[in-house]
């Protein structure tokens, strides 16, 4: 299926309720599975990733297929490693090419029994759950914070707790802080000194929780305001003081022309004049925002240089290559001067066509980031648009609410 996205006006206004954070939801579900007592979760994410994890945790089956859900693969691998039983866990063809060796090595290092069924270092995995006896791990923190979060979540229930020594520059630190903040909500005490995180054996408290709205999804609404003329949009359920690292969206978009006014649990986004003529930022702590900003800055005509994008190559697709490929169709030539960097010097050629089809590469963030450019480019066609259900299931309806036309293209 393909969607044709268009809009007659360039002035956008409206009111939107954001989806709940899947990052918070998935962490809370793992904690619930590790807790001895039940508790209530309000506003659980309706994203595919969360549904897959919830289904897997509720299942009595020994075979688990998590599809494209990378977080679920990492979190469940750690959870099952310390739980008595035998499991086979697999995923989509892309998931079977996303590395998991660092996490598996770390778990096996402390006594887990995890084997690769096909290619070494990648799913599918056979896990023989057992009691973990050791409590010290050295782990490379530069590849994926999800490996570390997976270990942190199980740390309190291990017989001796866990001490994590993080090597190299740690990527996506806000996600580690998010994990620890959520664990703290459920009574867990920890220490984080320099590159070492220590968690003793202890119990998760039973405590109800309400899931925040998702700041990563909010970035696409900020993008819409940035690309519109005199845009004004209200996000009705967003928190200024958030646990999520991607709340930096507000500050970054302020630099390129979107002002945020917060009132209680809502944000009013207003377009403003910007003097920004070059944008440089290290996304090592916020890699999920890179696609939003690359696309937005190109269509605003603001040259940029991004750093800290190494992890984008092991996401749903190689996001650096995907951005270069799809933006090239519109005449933007992006380069990767060094690994983990992305640069555009401001040069623009003629678009390849008047009706450009955006490949999404089974990556929700490609569809989410490219659809708003209908404000700048007459006809945008999104291939495999249903992929947005991974994180933002109501996205296309929200675009319609804001005045976009979303048509099925045959």
Number of C-alpha atoms within 13 angstroms, CB side, residue 307? 3
Cα(283)–Cα(326) distance, integer angstroms: 20
Quote the CA–CA distance of 220 and 179 in Å, as a whole number.
Answer: 24
Task: Judge if the upstream peptide bond of residue 124 is cis by omega within 30 degrees of 0.
Answer: yes
Q: How far is 367 from 184, CA to CA, in rounded Å?
A: 35
What is the Cα–Cα distance from 26 to 39, expressed in whole angstroms?
15
SS3 36: coil
What are the catalytic residues?
A: 288
Q: In whole angstroms, what separates CA 152 from the centre of its chain?
A: 18
Element (H, E) at 368: helix 364-370
C-alpha 96 chain-centroid distance: 19
* DSSP state string for 12-52: -EEEEPPPBPHHHHHHHHHHHHH-SS---EES---SHHHHH
Q: Return d(Cα 259, Cα 392) in angstroms, integer.
A: 23
Q: For residues 385 and 362, what is the distance between their CA atoms, to the nearest angstrom?
A: 9
CA distance 267 to 233: 8
C-alpha to C-alpha distance for 217 and 135, rounded to whole angstroms: 37
Name which of 47, 84, 80, 87 is nearest 63 in CA terms: 87
The answer to whether 290 touches 283, Cβ cutoff 8 Å, is: yes
3-state secondary structure of 232: strand
**Placement of tokens 């979190």 in the chain:** 75
């Amino acid at each position: 299926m393909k969607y044709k996205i268009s809009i007659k006006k360039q002035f956008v206004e409206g009111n939107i309720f954001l989806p709940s954070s899947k990052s918070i939801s998935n962490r809370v579900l793992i904690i619930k599975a590790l807790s001895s007592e039940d508790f209530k979760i309000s506003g659980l994410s309706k994203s595919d990733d969360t549904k897959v994890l919830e289904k897997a945790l509720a299942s009595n089956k020994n075979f688990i297929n998590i599809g494209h859900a990378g977080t679920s693969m990492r979190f469940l691998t750690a959870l099952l490693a310390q739980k008595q039983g035998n499991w086979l866990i697999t995923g989509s063809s892309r998931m079977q090419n996303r590395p998991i060796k660092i996490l598996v090595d770390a778990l096996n290092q402390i006594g887990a029994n995890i084997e690769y069924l096909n290619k070494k270092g990648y799913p599918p995995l056979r896990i023989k759950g057992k009691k973990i006896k050791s409590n010290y791990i050295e782990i490379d923190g530069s590849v994926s914070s999800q490996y570390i979060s997976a270990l942190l979540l199980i740390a309190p229930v291990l017989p001796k707790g866990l001490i994590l020594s993080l090597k190299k520059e740690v990527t996506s630190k806000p996600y580690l802080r998010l994990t620890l903040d959520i664990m703290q909500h459920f009574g867990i005490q920890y220490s984080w000194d320099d590159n070492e995180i220590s968690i003793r054996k202890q119990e998760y408290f039973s405590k109800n929780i309400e899931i925040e709205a998702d700041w990563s999804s909010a970035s696409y609404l900020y993008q819409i305001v940035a690309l519109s003329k005199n845009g004004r949009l209200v996000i009705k359920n967003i928190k200024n003081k958030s646990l999520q690292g991607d709340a930096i969206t507000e500050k970054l978009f302020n630099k390129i022309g979107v002002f945020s006014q917060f009132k209680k649990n809502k944000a009013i986004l207003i377009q403003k004049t910007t003097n920004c003529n070059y944008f440089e930022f290290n996304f090592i702590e916020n890699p999920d925002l890179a696609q939003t900003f690359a696309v937005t800055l190109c269509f605003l005509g603001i040259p940029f240089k991004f750093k800290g994008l190494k992890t984008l190559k092991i996401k749903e697709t190689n996001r650096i290559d995907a951005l270069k490929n799809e933006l090239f169709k519109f005449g933007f030539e992006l380069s990767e001067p060094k690994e983990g960097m992305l640069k555009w010097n401001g040069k623009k050629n003629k678009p390849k066509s008047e009706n450009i089809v955006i490949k999404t590469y089974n990556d929700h963030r490609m569809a989410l980031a490219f659809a708003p450019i209908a404000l700048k480019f007459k006809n945008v066609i999104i291939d495999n648009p249903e992929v947005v259900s991974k994180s933002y299931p109501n996205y296309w309806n929200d675009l319609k609410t804001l005045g976009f036309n979303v048509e099925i293209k045959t």
